[in-house]
């Protein structure tokens, strides 16, 4: 039973590590795209839909914006993005404060109008690739890069711990070490025996 639970623990650690690595890869890809987007031309965009949602952490809560854009010739291309505005108010939890609906509506108008005014950066070679101009100009790629690297280290660490705690691995390592010691001792005895025969 102990081996069973140890195996489950190792599997869970490895799976969580893989999930964290996937998130890290996404963050690094976003950082690379944002870096490239600095050279993309700015285009006018129309905000078709824009909404505000409250997101909760352990200690505070904040606002997240989701907007659907149309751009290009005849506004036939479409792009949707979800982001946290850098100037989003943060509310301490415990208990959660009640936000006045008028304040929420004012924040929605502010963030959505800014997204519409900023427009998009669109790749000249691949018009389907777009990003908010505000995200490009404020250097969000640095934050994505930092998060990607941090998640990469965390994911690799979780996987390494899961492998290290795998049942039977320690016994296998000790067995391999003992086998190497026996081989070294046998080689030493053979070398000594050859030396005695040569002297005689």
The verdict on residue 35 lying in a domain is: yes
How confident is the model at residue 188, as a pLDDT? 64
How confident is the model at residue 47, as a pLDDT? 92
Mean pLDDT, to the nearest integer, of 144-171?
A: 86
How confident is the model at residue 166, as a pLDDT? 81
Mean pLDDT, to the nearest integer, of 89-118?
A: 88
Structure tokens at 20: 């964290």
Range of the domain at 98: 45-118
Split into its structural domains, the chain has a count of: 2
How confident is the model at residue 200, as a pLDDT? 56
Same-domain check for residues 36 and 67: no
Same-domain check for residues 65 and 95: yes
Same-domain check for residues 147 and 97: no
Same-domain check for residues 61 and 90: yes
The verdict on residue 66 lying in a domain is: yes
Give the whole-angstrom CA distance, residue 154 versus residue 140: 21
DSSP 30: H
Q: Residue 157: is its pLDDT beyond 80?
A: yes
Evaluated on CA atoms 138, 143, 144, 146, the torsion sign reads: positive
Same-domain check for residues 87 and 138: no
The verdict on residue 164 lying in a domain is: no
The verdict on residue 2 lying in a domain is: no
Q: What is the pLDDT of residues 23-78, one digit of tens each?
A: 999 989 989 988 888 899 989 899 999 999 999 988 899 999 999 999 988 899 99
Same-domain check for residues 36 and 51: no
Same-domain check for residues 51 and 114: yes
Concatenating the DSSP letter of every residue in 62-107 gives: EEEEEEEEEESGGG-EEEEEEE--TT---EE-SSPPPPPHHHHHHH
The verdict on residue 180 lying in a domain is: no
The verdict on residue 94 lying in a domain is: yes
How confident is the model at residue 139, as a pLDDT? 79
Give the whole-angstrom CA distance, residue 148 versus residue 53: 24
């Amino acid at each position: 039973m102990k081996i069973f639970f140890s195996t489950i623990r190792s599997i869970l650690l490895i799976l969580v590590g893989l999930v964290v690595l996937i998130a890290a890869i996404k963050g690094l890809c976003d950082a690379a795209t944002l870096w490239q987007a600095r050279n993309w031309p700015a285009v006018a965009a129309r905000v078709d839909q824009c909404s505000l949602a409250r997101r909760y952490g352990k200690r505070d809560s904040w606002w997240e914006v989701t907007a659907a854009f149309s751009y290009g010739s005849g506004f036939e291309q479409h792009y949707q993005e979800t982001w946290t505005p850098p100037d989003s108010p943060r509310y301490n939890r415990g208990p959660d404060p009640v936000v006045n609906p008028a304040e929420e509506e004012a924040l929605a108008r502010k963030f959505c109008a800014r997204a519409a005014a900023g427009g998009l950066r669109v790749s000249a070679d691949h018009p389907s690739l777009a990003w908010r101009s505000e995200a490009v100009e404020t250097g969000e790629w640095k934050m994505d890069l930092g998060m990607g690297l941090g998640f990469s280290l965390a994911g690799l660490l979780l996987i390494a711990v899961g492998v290290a705690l795998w049942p039977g691995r320690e016994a296998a390592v000790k067995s391999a070490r003992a086998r190497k010691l026996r081989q070294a001792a046998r080689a030493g005895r053979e070398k000594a025996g050859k030396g005695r025969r040569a002297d005689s």
